[in-house]
Amino acid sequence: MKGFVQAIQDGEKGMVFRNSVFLPFHLELLSVWIGKEMSLLAVPDLLTDFCEGNGQLAVREGEQYTNLVFRKGGDLRKELGRCKGHIILHAAEKGCDIFNEENRHYIKVCFTNRHVLEFELVEDPFYL
Position 66 in a domain: yes
Q: How many domains does the chain have?
A: 1
Position 69 in a domain: yes
List pLDDT tens digits, range 4-47: 888 999 999 999 998 899 999 999 999 888 876 655 555 566 77
How confident is residue 112, by pLDDT bands cut at 50, 70 and 90? confident
SS3 (DSSP) at 103: helix
Q: In this structure, how many other beta carbons lie within 10 angstroms of the beta carbon of residue 73?
A: 19
* Distance between CA atoms of residues 10 and 95, nearest Å: 21
Cα dihedral 105, 102, 66, 45 in deg (nearest 10): -40
Q: What is the pTM of this model?
A: 0.85
How confident is residue 125, by pLDDT bands cut at 50, 70 and 90? confident
Position 33 in a domain: yes
List pLDDT tens digits, range 47-93: 776 677 667 788 889 899 999 988 777 777 777 776 677 888 999 99
Domain hosting residue 71, numbered range: 4-122
